[in-house]
Amino acid sequence: MSVVVVAVVVYGSLGLRWWWRARLRRRILALVAGLDLEPYHAAALEYEETPAAAAELMLDGYLDIDGEGVALLTEAGRDPGRAPVEAIPAALLEALRRHDPEPVSIGWIDRRDEEYQSRCLAYREERDALLPGIPRMPAWDGRQPWACCSCLGFVLLGFFWLLVAEMLVIAPPHGLREWAAAVVAAAGLAALAFRPAAGRAVRARTECGDAFRDRLRATTHPAMEALDEQQRQHVRTSADDHGRWRGLDRFVPDEDEDDDAYEDDEDDEDEWWGWVDAYHYRAADHEDDPDTA
């Protein structure tokens, strides 16, 4: 009878845990589904706000990006009286105007332009403050204090299982009543043996992962969706360029660079080629300018 009582207690607590986790899972999914995220806020949470802003500037005719990732302002982009309504595209357009007419990549602005970074950070902090608190499914690992109690319970349960099994072997049942009790005890022991597997099944069936992050990954900014495939590739190329097209900025070495002569030579060569590329674009601009003819 004690085996049945223990099995009922063990599986009863497991059932309560299942109910609690399922209820928490429904709450998390409902909160995430009900979030009203601004497109640029969703992009900023995935660090994609700069490509999205560049895409919007391209759609509005402020910006062109060529196949090498160079962001060049159009006549509308150079007009100081025109600016986007959204905060992130407006900040990116101002950063591009600071570098105009030198060729620059949006990746360089995203990585190196402090004013642009501060405005993006201020926007994200402002929008993050409006997000409701989203609970997280607890991680059932050994870092939680009660996990030690759970381990102790499993040890005691194992000793109890061995004790009852030994009693069934040493003192075999006699008569119908004892055999019935033995069968019930054996069934209880079998149920207890499957307790770890049942616990894993509960975790698997009630797990919701990172629902908020999953929603962000499944969301694409409307401006990026509106571009054609070639334009999206140009935006990605420019966003991934963090050093070739630097606009008006001179070469800034990384803090973790070694100081040996070989790497210094490589840096000098990289800087020299960067200015050659910039000269190429400036020369092309002058050739296209009818006033210089």
Q: What is the pLDDT of residues 120-158, one digit of tens each?
A: 999 999 999 998 888 887 765 444 554 555 555 555 556
H helices present in the chain, as ranges: 2-33, 39-45, 49-59, 75-78, 87-99, 106-112, 114-128, 145-170, 175-193, 195-206, 211-217, 222-226, 229-240, 261-288
CB 223 within 8 A of CB 56: yes
Burial class (CB in 10 A: 0-12, 13-18, 19+), 50: buried
Q: What is the rounded radius of gyration, in angstroms, for the C-alpha atoms of the chain?
A: 32
Confidence grade of residue 115 (pLDDT, cut at 50, 70, 90): very high
Question: Which residue pairs from 205-212 have beta carbons closer than 8 angstroms and sit at least 24 positions apart in sequence?
Answer: 205/18, 205/22, 206/18, 206/21, 206/22, 206/24, 206/25, 206/137, 207/25, 207/137, 208/25, 208/28, 208/29, 208/137, 211/28, 211/29, 211/32, 212/32, 212/35, 212/134
More confident: 249 or 5: 5
Confidence grade of residue 177 (pLDDT, cut at 50, 70, 90): low
Q: Which residue, 50, 124, 125, is CA-closest to 90? A: 50
Which pTM was predicted? 0.66
Confidence grade of residue 8 (pLDDT, cut at 50, 70, 90): confident
How far CA 214 is from CA of 29, 49, 190, in Å, comes to 11, 17, 39
Rounded mean pLDDT of 103-117? 91
Asked if the model's pLDDT at residue 99 lies above 80, the reply is yes
- 150: its two tokens: 């759970």
Percent of the chain whose pLDDT exceeds 70: 62
What pLDDT, on a 0 to 100 scale, did the predictor assign at position 286? 44
Q: Give 34-63 pLDDT, tens digit per residue.
A: 888 999 999 999 999 999 999 999 999 999
Which residues make beta-bridge pairs with 246? 104
What pLDDT, on a 0 to 100 scale, did the predictor assign at position 136? 82
Q: What is the DSSP letter of 246?
A: B
Rounded mean pLDDT of 83-92? 93
More confident: 28 or 249: 28
More confident: 90 or 179: 90
| Pairing label, strands 63-65, 71-73 | antiparallel
Rounded mean pLDDT of 269-276? 44
Average pLDDT of the chain to the nearest whole number: 77
Rounded mean pLDDT of 98-127? 91
Distance of CA 166 to the CA centre of its chain: 52
More confident: 127 or 182: 127
How far CA 194 is from CA of 10, 13, 153, 242, in Å, comes to 11, 14, 15, 55
Burial class (CB in 10 A: 0-12, 13-18, 19+), 285: middle
What pLDDT, on a 0 to 100 scale, did the predictor assign at position 204? 85
More confident: 147 or 113: 113
- 8: its two tokens: 């009922």
Q: Give 204-242 pLDDT, tens digit per residue.
A: 888 888 889 999 998 899 999 999 999 999 999 999 988
What pLDDT, on a 0 to 100 scale, did the predictor assign at position 251? 45
Confidence grade of residue 196 (pLDDT, cut at 50, 70, 90): confident
